[in-house]
Amino acid sequence: MVTSPIMCLRYCLTESNYLLLLTMLQNLKERSSVKFDRMLRTGRTRLKNAYVWYLVCYFAISCDAADTNEINIWPMPVSVSFGSGKLHLSNAFELKTKGSKFADASGILKEAFSRTIDIVRSSHVVELDTSKVVPSLVLRGIHVVISSPSDELQYGTDESYKLYIPAHGNPIYACIEAKTVYGALHGLQTFSQICSYNLSTRGILVHQVPWTIVDQPRFSYRGLLIDTARHYQPLQVIKKIIDAMAYTKLNVLHWHIVDTQSFPLEIPSYPKLWDGSFTIFERYTIADAEEIVSYAKKRGIHVLAEIDIPGHAESWGFGYPSLWPSENCTGPLDVSNDFTFKLIDGILSDFSKIFKFKFVHLGGDEVDTSCWIITPRVRSWLHKQGMSDSDAYQYFVLRVQKLALSHGYEIINWEETFNHFGSKLNPQTVVHNWLGGGVAENVVKAGLRCIVSNQDKWYLDHYIRWQDFYSNEPLENITNHELHSRVLGGEVCMWGELIDAADIEQMVWPRAAAAAERMWTSYDKLAKDPNDVRSRLSHFRCLLNQRGIAAGPLEGLGLTRPFGPGSCYTK
């Protein structure tokens, strides 16, 4: 009943190889001017036969090797070994924590375990009755052993884990060892990608056992920026972004909360600030912000809050007009007015109660000082202080840095602050690159720390290919290895001018995932040619879709439709 070499291959190849073959055939089809789809299925022409048999031979030859070399885990762990066995995931799959020092009073681990089972089972209805399967073939649960009793999540919290899945035993349990619960969460994410629904058994199979995975992130700061000032993002949308960040092992949600266009966040110390929101429906209460922070923490994700001052703050003056140089010249924030700094101090004080991350982001980019120069009151103040507008920009940033430090924060500022007065920045400053490549090199040489977000590669609102997201190397040209630790990591930025609740997911995924591997995976394991990981990323994109995340086709540069009918795995 086999009708074509393709159908034959569908059974003799491994799943991943089959997908790769499909991809190649799809590419072939796209290049061909004839109706290749029909050809492919019916063997109509000699051309088709020649190509298909070539590919069959190619895959038949490479089949054995690929059997043991293909792993569909994203991002790739540091160290992986695996076998060729299979286990059935028990329907009564359970969490064991004997010997763990982590008491899980807040339920972080239990909830994460429960979510793991949910996502593993989300693609199909599970029908297999595992109580009727030979016990030696059933994986009964995961034994999680955590050595730290604390659930504190802070910059630098250990995220390493080891995952063992034996091939034999009775009963059989997988084991995750981690220093902290947050390492264990990563272990569960990796585990979820080793499981998949199996059509033959109608159950969840754990593939390629036995597994030994030893893993830890390359960078401790792996960020994604969202912007709720250009468009408000509802809580449900932010939560889904966080869900998918956890799937990709990103660990910092950089929340660009407010900007020129709107001020959606409640600030108890200055309750008129959110008068600058678009509407009363497009606001975050303090309780909402706490909910976001808590939701993120339960997934091992920090929330970095930003106020982008003095340049991106026009909306602040809605509630407090004296923050503007004048009603006719409404930005940057009035440097000459002590109230400006008193209010910022109030914001930072309120922030420090909600946003417990070590860092606060103070912005500092794109400051156009003309309003300071042309507004008589501010100009005369500048004159009195003996400051140029440029001096005043420095004065503003440094004064606010001190305020942030006084609230226990370390500081992140956009790179213009470094470019203008780098030597004056507080040594606690982390410089956030965005203008282009090559900045980190200068920042770390100057003794400061850096986060890499060069817009030509890591801006999600730009039309950039996933391959460029993947290839962007935070340590590029930093030859002195002692300086590497000053690059905390990187961040992909989803600026919100053209992004609302409808298009955000597709603009972020899967391109942010491509960058996530760059930030997680050890350098030697990263593909030199990103196309080498295309099949694995494609698999991961389809996995995101199965989990309800609207990740788009790899070939898209953000919001895009698939180019025509076909398998997810070929897009």
Site for its own copies in 117-156 (CB under 8 A): 122-125, 127
How far the first Cα of the chain sits from its last, in Å, is 29
**Of the candidates 12, 61, 235, 374, which one interacts with its own copies according to CB under 8 A?**
235
**Which span sits near its own copies by CB under 8 A: 162-170, 317-325, 409-417, 435-443?**
317-325
* 503 interacts with its own copies by CB under 8 A: yes
How, if at all, do strands 211-215 and 79-81 pair? antiparallel
**Residue 73, phi-psi category: left (phi > 0), alpha (psi -120 to 50), beta (remainder):** beta
**Which span sits near its own copies by CB under 8 A: 52-60, 244-252, 319-327, 395-403?**
319-327
Amino acid letter, residue 148: S
Query: 494 by DSSP, 3-state: which?
Result: strand
For 468, the enclosing helix (H) or strand (E) is: helix 466-471
Minimum CB distance to its own copies smaller for 102 or for 232: 232
The answer to whether 219 and 519 are in contact (CB under 8 A) is yes
* 363 interacts with its own copies by CB under 8 A: no
**Which span sits near its own copies by CB under 8 A: 74-82, 225-233, 345-353, 443-451?**
225-233
Report which DSSP code applies to 498. T
Site size toward its own copies (CB under 8 A) is 87
Active site residue 366: yes
Q: Rounded to whole angstroms, how far apart are CA atoms 123 and 111?
A: 20
Q: Which of 45, 145, 127, 50 is nearest to 88 (CA)?
A: 127
Least distance in angstroms from the C-beta of 40 to its own copies: 11
Minimum CB distance to its own copies smaller for 29 or for 449: 29
Q: Footprint of its own copies on residues 538-567 (CB under 8 A)? A: 542, 545-548, 550-553, 559-567
Query: 284 by DSSP, 3-state: which?
Result: strand
Query: Quick one: how many helices (H) and strands (E) in the chain?
Result: 19, 16
**Which span sits near its own copies by CB under 8 A: 138-146, 209-217, 316-324, 381-389?**
316-324
Torsion of CA 221, 223, 228, 234, to 10 degrees: -110
Phi, psi of 5, deg, nearest 5: -60, -30
* 506 interacts with its own copies by CB under 8 A: yes
Least distance in angstroms from the C-beta of 156 to its own copies: 29
Q: Rounded to whole angstroms, how far apart are CA atoms 156 and 16?
A: 36
**Of the candidates 240, 254, 302, 449, which one interacts with its own copies according to CB under 8 A?**
240
> What strands, in cross-sheet order, belong to the sheet with 195-198?
79-81, 211-215, 161-165, 172-178, 138-146, 85-96, 203-209, 195-198
Helices (H), 35-139: 36-42, 46-69, 108-120
Minimum CB distance to its own copies smaller for 360 or for 542: 542
Minimum CB distance to its own copies smaller for 104 or for 314: 314
For 247, the enclosing helix (H) or strand (E) is: helix 235-248
**CA 301 to mean position of chain CA atoms:** 10
Least distance in angstroms from the C-beta of 503 to its own copies: 6
Least distance in angstroms from the C-beta of 451 to its own copies: 25
The answer to whether 95 and 115 are in contact (CB under 8 A) is no
* 281 interacts with its own copies by CB under 8 A: yes
The answer to whether 311 and 367 are in contact (CB under 8 A) is yes
Least distance in angstroms from the C-beta of 200 to its own copies: 10
- Residue 53 has a CB neighbour count (10 Å cut-off) of 11
Q: Footprint of its own copies on residues 256-275 (CB under 8 A)? A: 261-262, 272, 275
Minimum CB distance to its own copies smaller for 275 or for 468: 275
Amino acid letter, residue 36: F
**Which span sits near its own copies by CB under 8 A: 227-235, 346-354, 399-407, 423-431?**
227-235
* 499 interacts with its own copies by CB under 8 A: yes
* 496 interacts with its own copies by CB under 8 A: yes
* 474 interacts with its own copies by CB under 8 A: no
Write out the E strands in 179-312: 195-198, 203-209, 211-215, 221-227, 252-256, 302-306
- Marked catalytic residue, from 152, 366, 416, 517: 366
**Which span sits near its own copies by CB under 8 A: 103-111, 160-168, 380-388, 495-503?**
495-503
Task: Spell out, one character per residue from 183 to 222, where the chain touches its own copies: x when CB under 8 A holds, - when not.
Answer: ----------------x--x--------------------
* 314 interacts with its own copies by CB under 8 A: yes
Q: Footprint of its own copies on residues 10-69 (CB under 8 A)? A: 10, 15, 18-19, 22, 37-38, 41-44
**Of the candidates 51, 324, 393, 396, which one interacts with its own copies according to CB under 8 A?**
324
Least distance in angstroms from the C-beta of 497 to its own copies: 5
Minimum CB distance to its own copies smaller for 261 or for 467: 261
Rg, C-alpha atoms of the chain: 26
Catalytic residue numbers? 366
